[in-house]
Each structure stands twice: as C-alpha cells, then as structure tokens.
Amino acid sequence: GAGVSQSPRYKVAKRGQDVALRCDPISGHVSLFWYQQALGQGPEFLTYFQNEAQLDKSGLPSDRFFAERPEGSVSTLKIQRTQQEDSAVYLCASTLGRVMRPQHFGDGTRLSIL
C-alpha cells in the first residue's frame, strides 16, 4: 500500500510479557517517528529516526522501551516486561524529509496489557 502500515493492529499481552510492534513507513521516507497515545489524549513523542540513525529517544518512558530501524526502512518498537500503564495506542509516522514534523501516520497498534 501507499501509506504507513503498522502491525499488529491489536495486541493483548499479559503483564510481564515482551511485545514487538512493527512499522512499515512510506517507501523512501527518511524520517520515522513513534508516538504513544493514551485514551482521550494527544499523541506523545517517543522516538525519532533519520534513516537508520536514532537521533532522539528522549520520549521513551523507561529502559523497557527499545526501538530500532536497522536498514533505514522498517522499524520495530519493543517493550519488555510490559506493565498495565503501557496500555495505549502506539502510532508510527513518516516524513519524506529530514524534519521532526510527522507527516503521514499509520493507524496504530492498540496494545492492551492484562
């Protein structure tokens, strides 16, 4: 497809399990972002990549959160030892240029931690 694709769309995990969320950005887009959106709130910045380089990870809530984009295309957000407060929608966005403004969002992964 032509847009940003995220998988899975829904993920249910038990507290303490590890999860991995995938983002396929628009082909050729240099910048990739991960955001966390809690119910009733706006998206909160987690991390930013320019090609394969993670230039900003200041929004990652704890060292349980890890993101990578090894070949400058697909990105994975991994959460280890999940906790209930990790329940949220995780949004990925990409932008053609080297700017920190998200242009095209995927439809997100809704993560529920039981």
Residue 85 phi, psi dihedral angles, 5° rounding:
-70, -10
C-beta closer to other proteins: residue 14 or 27: 27
- Type of residue at 78: K
C-beta closer to other proteins: residue 53 or 81: 53
Which stretches of the chain bind other proteins, using CB under 8 A?
A: 4, 35, 40-45, 48, 56, 91, 93, 99-108
Rounded to a whole number of angstroms, the minimum distance from the CB of residue 110 to other proteins is: 8
C-beta closer to other proteins: residue 12 or 81: 12
Rounded to a whole number of angstroms, the minimum distance from the CB of residue 51 to other proteins is: 17
